[in-house]
Structure 1
């Protein structure tokens, strides 16, 4: 028997999938579940059950349901619950069937690969919160274009800001799936870490709220030549870069609204037991300005054929010029700002 300790639980994994590289994901998940004071939580694709078990023990959620389609995995979950002295409901059913049959305060989708096959049913089931992980970053970020279009009903592009592109493509699909059910979403925390996208959504009922939510969808007109980008409400058949006059490409539809809720994230930061890396990610997310996409500092320097200076100095110059600017968790070389490319280049160039 191979026992693994993670957080405050001990568990077996034999016969079920377990990814030790997702510990950080689960650490932050516990902090968010505790911050939101959840009372009812579904781990729709449980495998070994580690995610749901940690939510029950560490976040103190009273009603936790752990589901998996595999009978062997469900037997393992029962054993892991017993080993940790926890009570929980274990269901052995196709996740989409369960999500159509029952409603939960919080629904958590953490699949192997894309969550797109489950988002419609999860949107129906979630009463207050929807948490989603996507590990298929290649389709989301534009590296596998056709796969991204099929799974997310949107066109991603592989750009310098591809990590945020992937997150907003996922959020765009979630917004559309919820809107079909007269529901809206408010992203509280969205982070792209290692090989996955993770987002925590507040779900709000009402057709009017859904209509407002859909107004946050749009497109990004991107210039492959210089890296300039422009946000668009409507798609364009073809475009020309206003900065270098090259032909542009269009990404979307995707989410252009807020992706972080500072108050919630700061509360999660006070959760005991967070690793240094989790604290760094949450702290950076809480300080990010609300501006879609980001500029890659070194990519611009390479194009301008200049030696890169300090990113913080560029951010300071942008702020002194009246623009909002910040670092971003998406990339250590990224600059979030409401300035356009000419202003960013001017801030980067040495005096």
Structure 2
């Protein structure tokens, strides 16, 4: 296996490379390493650092005594950066023999023998055997097979990446149903649908063992979904968490949507606005996706550490921080197309909504999407006025 040194953040890591002149995707390498996920890792390091500091203060735990697990490490670059740049005690695990050998080599290369353990196990077995303050699940593909074990293993923070956005967002409907025990939508807000389907699945796994979650930061970026969830214990809190599980009714012809909280709900078959057949998605997470204070601290950490993707990361976190908490967003261009008019500037639309007494914000999901508590009738009237 050929390797080369790369630097991400403040960490020099050895990663696999293919032979010169040979081209193949990252997934075909002897050990998986994707340079395009540097943005994901930059945010991960900042978010983990912020959480570790708060955990250290609240629980009176030294940073180096906080236990972090990178359960599906591959090249190990994420966990190595966490160990080197955050300072927590890190366990890097991978089932691949090649990955394990590279991880061990990188630990020696960085001089992290006292701070990092390497294990060569099935991730689910390891997570059932031990508990960690922070558990990070970042598989190649769906995290679904690992969520039950991760929900039991994580004591204070669970971070999850899902790159199977087609099942999560409804493009591969039956695959999404099988993996997440929920029906997703493939519509204009499919990116948010993926986040909420994932969070709904994690919440149900946590509730089985009387645990609950508080989302700190969740974003859909490029081809993946990423979430950071603070974890706690208690049957009452778990019951309260499940109150944020429910369904979304959506009418494709007219754009009407309705939020329906509850694990079992009474749903009309027709759209209340135009009587067309309405679609139902869920069960999924209807609660908040972000904690404003946490996002603000992550922004400060990104500013302080200046990672390679600093500006991109700051933009994502800033938009997440300012997003309204309500489920679903509207896509301005889709509404304009349905009305047969040209779109105004997105900021003009949002400012006009606010001037009419509605809450409104941009979203991190796309540059032409917005959230508002205005109904579709009010939105269409304002768009027609601005045309």
Distance in structure 2 (CA, Å) of the matches to 1:286 and 1:189:
9
What SS does the aligned partner of 2:368 have?
strand
Distance in structure 2 (CA, Å) of the matches to 1:308 and 1:350:
11
Q: Conserved in 2, the CA contact under 8 Å of 1:160 and 1:227?
A: no
Match of 2:57 in 1: none
1:139 aligns with 2:167: yes
1:281 aligns with 2:316: yes
What SS does the aligned partner of 1:13 have?
strand
Among candidates 313, 334, 342, match of residue 307 of structure 1: 342
Instruction: Give CA-to-partner distance per residue, 1:11-58, whole Å, 9 cap, x none.
Output: 222331101111000000000011112622100000111000000111
Match of 2:58 in 1: none
Distance in structure 2 (CA, Å) of the matches to 1:322 and 1:184:
35
1:127 aligns with 2:155: yes
Offset, 1:80: 0.8
Offset, 1:237: 5.5
How many aligned positions are there?
A: 350
TM-score by length of structure 2 reads 0.88
TM-score by length of structure 1 reads 0.97
Distance in structure 1 (CA, Å) of the matches to 2:375 and 2:67:
44
Match of 2:62 in 1: none
Alignment of structure 1 residues 109-124 onto 2, 5 Å: 109-124=137-152
Alignment of structure 1 residues 86-165 onto 2, 5 Å: 86-87=112-113, 88-165=116-193
Distance in structure 2 (CA, Å) of the matches to 1:82 and 1:296:
50
> What's the Cα RMSD here?
1.2
What stretches of structure 2 of length at least 5 have no aligned partner? 17-29, 54-65
What SS does the aligned partner of 1:143 have?
coil
Alignment of structure 1 residues 54-73 onto 2, 5 Å: 54-61=81-88, 63-73=89-99
1:25 aligns with 2:25: no
Distance in structure 2 (CA, Å) of the matches to 1:8 and 1:59:
10
1:189 aligns with 2:225: no
What SS does the aligned partner of 1:339 have?
coil
Match of 1:253 in 2: 283
Q: Conserved in 2, the CA contact under 8 Å of 1:154 and 1:251?
A: yes
Distance in structure 2 (CA, Å) of the matches to 1:130 and 1:86:
24
Q: Conserved in 2, the CA contact under 8 Å of 1:155 and 1:252?
A: yes
Distance in structure 2 (CA, Å) of the matches to 1:25 and 1:173:
21
Distance in structure 1 (CA, Å) of the matches to 2:327 and 2:373:
8
1:41 aligns with 2:68: yes
Match of 2:59 in 1: none
Distance in structure 1 (CA, Å) of the matches to 2:255 and 2:166:
20
Distance in structure 1 (CA, Å) of the matches to 2:382 and 2:108:
59
Question: Runs in 1 of length 4+ with deviation above 4 angstroms?
Answer: none
Distance in structure 2 (CA, Å) of the matches to 1:145 and 1:237:
21
What SS does the aligned partner of 1:350 have?
helix
Q: Conserved in 2, the CA contact under 8 Å of 1:238 and 1:249?
A: no
Match of 2:4 in 1: 2
